[in-house]
Structure 1
Amino acid sequence: MLHLLFWLLGLAAIYSYLLYPLVLKLAGIFTGVKEPATEFRNSEQPVTMSLIVTAYNEERRIREKIENTLAIQFDITRLELIVASDCSEDSTDAIVAEYADRGVRLVRASERLGKENAQLAAIQIAKGDILVFSDVATQIPEDALQKLERYFADPSIGAVSSEDRFISKDGSVAGEGAYVKYEMWLRKQESQLAGLVGLSGSFFAARKEICQEWDIHSPSDFNTALNTAKAGLRAISAPDVLGYYQDLADSSKEYQRKIRTVIRGMTGLSRHKEVLNFNRFGLFSLQVISHKLMRWLAPWFFIGFFIVSAILADHGWFYFLAFLGQLAFYTAALIAQFLPNLRSVGTIKLIYFFVQVNVALLDAAIKFLAGQRMTTWKPSAR
């Protein structure tokens, strides 16, 4: 029995990281991949866009964000700019009001209920066919909306996600590390099949009709991807639409950001459990289970696998090596926790990152099961 449990837990632990990509590849071979049309639609009424920026106490960065937004190259007669204030208590609203004569609209939430509630206030007054959502910390290239528009020429596309690029403290652009490449590859495969199961929350767009079912208690990026699937459309990743934002000024806050992101994701899925119905959503359900649910469960599988490996360590050389390998892996991460300089060293860097992510997943799951939810938070300094 323990031997069977060893293999089941081992396979379950690595499924979302190693086996799921193979499942996507095989699914693409058997079902065929879907490429979005990228030609402009021929219409006497070109698509209009509303760009919504959400802000809470962003007096330090809001002016730079507005200037970045105003520099976007897009037909101004087809573009609406809205800043949604989540009851900011500093001078954010006053700064936004200075740009009223340049077409920037300010909408203030009636009470502070979080990012999604502020976005909802903006959605209710937005006039665009396509709603584009962006965070204050994200800088958008001048041609980004022109590229976004091309994807919506395909009527089967309901939402489009940007790809993230990080600006390091020295000004260099990152975003090509092993993990990012892996995630972007997954996004590409999902885009070509049933669609993304999550968008980049810092910069994404969706058809206005997709945004009518706006849940203020779920993360808008995840909620939009799920609503797109429920509408029979696809959410895709656009590799040529980029969003740039800086690393957190305090790297210790990254762990808390991971926990917040996971708790919000779990909250979203718990409020959209119907997408797990394979009979109704088919391949999309498999993608949600594989990419989200199985990854959230992975830390529990890893713990179980480690315990079973320890029990079976004297049942043969294979089980002994399996236990020894895990012990060495986790020991390396533990050493890096106490010796920060090691975190930038090749393999140690990957090991530490992987373990930290899974510890954060475990921490988030415990908090979620204990009833903790997160709709409001103070933006981290960048």
Structure 2
Amino acid sequence: MEIILILSLLLVFHAYFGYPLTLKFISLFSSRPVKKEAYQPHVSLVITACNEERRIREKLENTLEIDYPREKLQVIVASDGSTDGTHEIVESYAQHGIELFVCPVRRGKENAQKEALQRTSGEIIVFSDVATRLDSHGISQIVSNFADPTVGCVSSVDRVIGRDGKPCGEGFYVRYEMWLRKLESRVYSLVGLSGSFFAARKEVCRDFSGDMQSDFRTVLASIRIGLRGISDPEAIGYYQDISDSRREFDRKVRTVLRGLTVLFHNLEFLNAARYGFFSYEYFCHKLLRWLVPLFLFTALAAHITLSFSSGFFTALLLIHLGFYAIAITGWLAKTLPTNVLLKIPLYFLTVNSAILVAWWQFVRGKRMVMWSPTQR
């Protein structure tokens, strides 16, 4: 039981900290810096929308502020079966060169992106969503990475704007993810992109799937043709935290469920003989992270068993249970906690509970193609 406990805790530690530490160590001896330089190819910006009449005008105004040669920038709004006033608002911007592409039947964000790709004329395809605001130089920044011929796709960095102007649980977690992506980019390739703002070479998108998570699968498509994915800290996508933080649980379930679908359709990338170091990244960042709920359950069961035979393990069990008690207290509170010491345990428990639910749904055969925009 002691071995099981130690092994379980070590796997949890490695999933969140051991993996980035190995990347940090490797980067001291071997790194692959991106050769960025001024580069202005023809770009197609694809913005997906579904019933976004409330937010689409703000997104389009933000798009018009983009500082990129207008003759080299194509903007397409891909409507995924919108039934509200989204189409009319987008059409009113036609004089500014913004195109509306309508998928009459709603089949999901990735399908809308795939269909819109047929209308794109750019060498580089940039994907964004309505909820994300870009800096005026955002397109120039993300595109400059493609001056490096080894780069197949580029992810932005997420910035969460709290409604109270303060960091939130999601914000701390997002910063952790951005730090991890920075390390992955430095050593070889990141494993997943920010779905709210990312870019890819057009040849990477030729095998685009209309029913799988595009921000995950685009990296795999790049690796498959000998390119890599990187994160650019100067290309930033800004979005607000979720208006009802308890919806974060449902969002995480959807995200992980969709990710599991991509993972099990692409198990070949776990073959280190073929994909080298990327297989280690793929295993640690995705599969190992998604197995953390199993390790947590095993560690708790071992802790409880050992507590009957040792006062030392009883004390450790109380600390163990105290962490979960803090998280549960935060969940049950009428208003979500603002203290960081309460937010982080709550968010950790929320994330791993969502992963557990996603596994249960996946094992039962549930798959998710439709992606409903999160209300923020």
- Structure 2: how far apart are the matches of 1:172 and 1:329? 23
- Structure 2: how far apart are the matches of 1:236 and 1:54? 23
- Structure 1: how far apart are the matches of 2:159 and 2:206? 29
Question: Could you tell me whether the CA contact under 8 Å between 2:159 and 2:171 is conserved in 1?
Answer: no
Task: Give the 5 Å matches for 1:1-382.
Answer: 2-30=1-29, 32-41=30-39, 46-170=40-164, 177-341=171-335, 343-382=337-376
- Structure 1 residue runs of 5 or longer lacking an equivalent are none
- Structure 2: how far apart are the matches of 1:342 and 1:51? 37
Question: Could you tell me whether the CA contact under 8 Å between 1:14 and 1:298 is conserved in 2?
Answer: no
SS at match of 1:344: coil
SS at match of 1:85: strand
Shift of 1:9: 1.7
Q: Match for 2:160: what amino acid?
A: F
- Structure 2: how far apart are the matches of 1:47 and 1:22? 37
RMSD value, Cα: 1.9
Q: Match for 1:115: what amino acid?
A: K
Q: Match for 2:47: what amino acid?
A: V
Shift of 1:342: 6.7
Q: Match for 1:38: what amino acid?
A: K
Question: Could you tell me whether the CA contact under 8 Å between 2:169 and 2:344 is conserved in 1?
Answer: no
Shift of 1:345: 2.1
* Change beyond 3 A, Cα 1:106–1:175: farther
SS at match of 1:236: strand
Question: Could you tell me whether the CA contact under 8 Å between 2:143 and 2:199 is conserved in 1?
Answer: no
The CA deviation string for residues 67-116 of structure 1, in whole angstroms up to 9 with x for no partner, is 11111010011110001011111121122122222211111125321000
- Structure 1: how far apart are the matches of 2:205 and 2:159? 26
- Structure 2: how far apart are the matches of 1:163 and 1:15? 23
- Structure 2 residue runs of 5 or longer lacking an equivalent are none
SS at match of 1:163: strand
Q: Match for 2:126: what amino acid?
A: V
- Structure 1: how far apart are the matches of 2:192 and 2:327? 29
SS at match of 1:343: coil
* Change beyond 3 A, Cα 1:260–1:190: same
Task: Report which stretch shifted further, 361-370 or 48-57.
Answer: 361-370
- Structure 2: how far apart are the matches of 1:274 and 1:243? 31
The CA deviation string for residues 288-347 of structure 1, in whole angstroms up to 9 with x for no partner, is 110111111101110011001111113434433332221111122122222255722232
* Change beyond 3 A, Cα 1:343–1:123: same
Task: Report which stretch shifted further, 15-24 or 74-83.
Answer: 15-24
- Structure 2: how far apart are the matches of 1:303 and 1:149? 44
SS at match of 1:152: helix
Question: Could you tell me whether the CA contact under 8 Å between 2:170 and 2:347 is conserved in 1?
Answer: no
Q: Match for 2:38: what amino acid?
A: F
Task: Report which stretch shifted further, 198-207 or 230-239.
Answer: 230-239
The CA deviation string for residues 239-284 of structure 1, in whole angstroms up to 9 with x for no partner, is 1111111122222211111111111111111122211111111111
Shift of 1:181: 3.0
Question: Could you tell me whether the CA contact under 8 Å between 1:74 and 1:143 is conserved in 2?
Answer: yes
Task: Report which stretch shifted further, 143-152 or 48-57.
Answer: 143-152
Shift of 1:126: 0.4
The total of aligned residue pairs comes to 376
- Structure 2: how far apart are the matches of 1:207 and 1:125? 15
Shift of 1:185: 1.5
SS at match of 1:80: strand
TM-score (norm 2): 0.95
- Structure 2: how far apart are the matches of 1:135 and 1:158? 21
* Change beyond 3 A, Cα 1:79–1:370: same
- Structure 2: how far apart are the matches of 1:177 and 1:64? 23
- Structure 1: how far apart are the matches of 2:55 and 2:336? 33
- Structure 2: how far apart are the matches of 1:103 and 1:336? 48
- Structure 1: how far apart are the matches of 2:250 and 2:61? 30
- Structure 2: how far apart are the matches of 1:348 and 1:155? 45
Task: Report which stretch shifted further, 158-167 or 129-138.
Answer: 158-167
* Change beyond 3 A, Cα 1:342–1:54: closer
- Structure 2: how far apart are the matches of 1:116 and 1:342? 33
Shift of 1:364: 1.2
Question: Could you tell me whether the CA contact under 8 Å between 1:159 and 1:224 is conserved in 2?
Answer: yes
- Structure 2: how far apart are the matches of 1:268 and 1:204? 18
- Structure 2: how far apart are the matches of 1:160 and 1:174? 26
Question: Could you tell me whether the CA contact under 8 Å between 1:342 and 1:348 is conserved in 2?
Answer: no
Task: Report which stretch shifted further, 265-274 or 122-131.
Answer: 265-274
Question: Could you tell me whether the CA contact under 8 Å between 2:330 and 2:337 is conserved in 1?
Answer: yes
